[in-house]
């Protein structure tokens, strides 16, 4: 137990360090390329490959982690992020849209290799400590990551102000390289490696609950990004007349608060008792509560209620319930997975997650242009409803709990 806890803390520290750079680089790219005169569409295009390669990386990354070990894929992700940061330190004349898209593609690959490796490692490191410990550990890892990504937005803006674009990139790259060496020394080799080398076809899960959960995850994260990525910030700027600093600070605060709620999900749910964690029924209930929020927000905005009040109250409620939904899913993918297939299942699951984010991002721009923020919110409610329907097939007990029940 002592060694498992130590390794978990090392993995978490590495994930934290990476996450800060991930949030910071996004803020650096948005602000700096806006200053260079890039149009909003061109800035958005810079992140297209970042999201697209997340899908590819999660598909391949789980298979790769099962073959070579999760700690190695995590370190590959960190090294790629350092390289992606250094790519952007070239002179401004080199910073064309295709060049920056290539750097962001590497950053997207790095991010999802690191995330998949860290999340899947928790299953292995938690060992036989029960579903309650697994839920707590994955909730803390996931929640702290999102809080720190919001903090990364602030770090990126501060470094840009103090050190300039290239100075900020050098600080981030050097810090992450130091974290890479730290985790390389302290983590044991071979974490998560399967005893037999899996074939590539095994990346597609044949476990029904994994497939249903992954499909629900696709629509869950699409439901957030369909209004949060484009519709919300544009509405705050154009309709409510907030300035860039107000919009950025508001969204960063939301992400940080969202992360804290994720980390606190086990205590909020109070379902972890006698070594048991939540099951499919809890996921269905959480989705049912969530679907009501964007629908009520759309109705309120449509009836002329104060939009600032609707968005602030609605975002608070949505953030709390969405964070609980996300934490539940992050726990269930590990709980439903066997120890020797966890990296494959997590990779497949986060491929669906990345696909939902990409679909939500693209749909957000179209839906806002055609139907405004109210239309985005109705799309969000529809996506959550689909996630709820897909969650009907999720079992209440995990495979390990069912086996334990039969053996009593």
Q: 231-258 b/e with 16+ CB inside 10 Å = b?
A: bbbbbbeeeeebeeeebbebbbebbbbb
pLDDT band at 132 (very low <50, low <70, confident <90, very high): low
How many domains, in total, are found in the chain?
Answer: 1
CA distance 55 to 355: 6
CA distance 363 to 224: 11
C-alpha 24: how far from chain center: 15
| Per-residue model confidence as pLDDT tens digits over 250-285 | 877 888 888 788 778 777 765 544 456 678 888 999
Task: Please say whether the dihedral angle defined by the alpha carbons of residues 215, 217, 223 and 229, taken in this order, is positive or negative.
Answer: negative
Burial of residue 214, with CB atoms counted within 10 A of its CB: 0-12 exposed, 13-18 middle, 19 or more buried = buried
> Mean pLDDT in the chain?
80
Q: What is the 3-state secondary structure (H, E, C) of 284-349?
A: HHHHHHHHHHHHHHHHHHHCCCCHHHHHHHHHHHHHHHHHHHHHHHHHHHHHCCCHHHHHHHHHHH
Angle of helix 70-87 relative to helix 97-126, nearest 10 degrees?
160
Q: Are 156 and 25 in contact (CB under 8 A)?
A: yes
Q: 82-107 b/e with 16+ CB inside 10 Å = b?
A: bebbbbbeeeeeebeeeebbebbbbb
Q: Are 361 and 353 in contact (CB under 8 A)?
A: no
Q: Are 223 and 360 in contact (CB under 8 A)?
A: yes
| Per-residue model confidence as pLDDT tens digits over 63-103 | 676 677 777 888 899 999 999 999 999 998 898 888 998 99
- Tell me which DSSP letter residue 95 carries: -
Closest CA to 29 of 49, 58, 11, 8: 49
Instruction: Give me the pLDDT at residue 288, please.
Output: 96
Structure-derived torsion over alpha carbons of residues 54, 60, 63, 64, reported in degrees to the nearest 10? -90
CATH of the domain at 336: 1.20.1250.20
- pLDDT above 60: residue 398: no
In order, the DSSP letters of 236-277 are HHHTS---HHHHHHHHHHHHHHHHHHHHTHHHHH---BTTB-
Which residues lie across from 276 on neighbouring strands? 273
3-class DSSP state for residue 159? helix
Instruction: Give me the pLDDT at residue 204, please.
Output: 54
pLDDT band at 314 (very low <50, low <70, confident <90, very high): very high
CA distance 10 to 223: 33
Cα angle value 170/148/21 (rounded, 5°): 20
Percent of the chain at pLDDT > 90 equals 29
- pLDDT above 60: residue 405: no
Q: Give phi and psi for 257, each to the nearest 5.
A: -60, -40
Domain, as residue range, for 254: 2-406
CA distance 341 to 310: 44
State the average pLDDT over residues 142-148. 73
Question: Who wins on pLDDT, 8 or 162?
Answer: 162
Burial of residue 79, with CB atoms counted within 10 A of its CB: 0-12 exposed, 13-18 middle, 19 or more buried = middle
CA distance 84 to 111: 11
């Amino acid at each position: 137990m002592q060694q498992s806890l130590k390794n978990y803390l090392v993995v978490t520290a590495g994930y934290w360090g990476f996450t800060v750079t991930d949030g910071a680089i996004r803020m650096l790219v948005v602000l700096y390329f806006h200053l260079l005169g890039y149009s909003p569409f061109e800035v958005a295009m810079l992140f297209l490959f970042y999201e697209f390669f997340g899908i590819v990386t999660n598909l391949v990354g789980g298979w790769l982690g099962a073959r070579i070990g999760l700690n190695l894929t995590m370190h590959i992700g960190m090294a790629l992020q350092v390289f992606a940061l250094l790519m952007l330190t070239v002179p401004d004349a080199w910073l064309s849209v295709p060049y920056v898209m290539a750097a962001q593609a590497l950053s997207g690959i790095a991010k999802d290799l690191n995330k998949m490796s860290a999340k899947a490692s928790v299953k292995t490191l938690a060992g036989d400590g029960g579903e309650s410990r697994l839920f707590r550990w994955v909730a803390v890892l996931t929640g702290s990551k999102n809080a720190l990504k919001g903090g990364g937005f602030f770090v990126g803006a501060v470094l840009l102000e103090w050190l300039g674009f290239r100075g900020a990139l050098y600080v981030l790259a050097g810090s992450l390289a130091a974290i890479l060496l730290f985790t390389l020394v302290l983590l044991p080799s071979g974490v998560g490696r399967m005893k037999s080398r899996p074939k590539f076809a095994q990346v597609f899960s044949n476990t029904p609950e994994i497939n249903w959960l992954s499909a629900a995850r696709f629509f869950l994260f699409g439901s957030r990004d369909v209004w949060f990525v484009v519709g919300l910030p544009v509405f705050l700027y154009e309709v409510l007349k907030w300035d860039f600093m107000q919009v950025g600070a508001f969204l960063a605060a939301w992400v940080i608060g969202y992360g804290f709620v994720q980390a606190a999900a086990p205590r909020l749910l109070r379902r972890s008792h006698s070594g048991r964690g939540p099951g499919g029924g809890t996921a269905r209930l959480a989705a049912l509560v969530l679907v009501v929020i964007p629908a009520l927000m759309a109705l309120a905005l449509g009836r002329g209620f104060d939009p600032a009040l609707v968005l602030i109250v609605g975002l608070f409620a949505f953030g709390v319930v969405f964070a609980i939904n996300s934490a539940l899913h992050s726990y269930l993918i590990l709980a439903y997975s066997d120890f020797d297939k966890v990296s494959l299942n997590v990779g497949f699951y986060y491929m669906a997650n990345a696909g939902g984010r990409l679909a939500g991002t693209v749909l957000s721009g179209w839906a806002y242009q055609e139907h405004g923020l109210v239309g985005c919110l109705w799309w969000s409610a529809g996506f959550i409803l689909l996630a709820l329907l897909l969650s009907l097939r999720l079992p209440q007990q995990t495979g390990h709990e069912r086996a334990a029940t039969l053996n009593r």
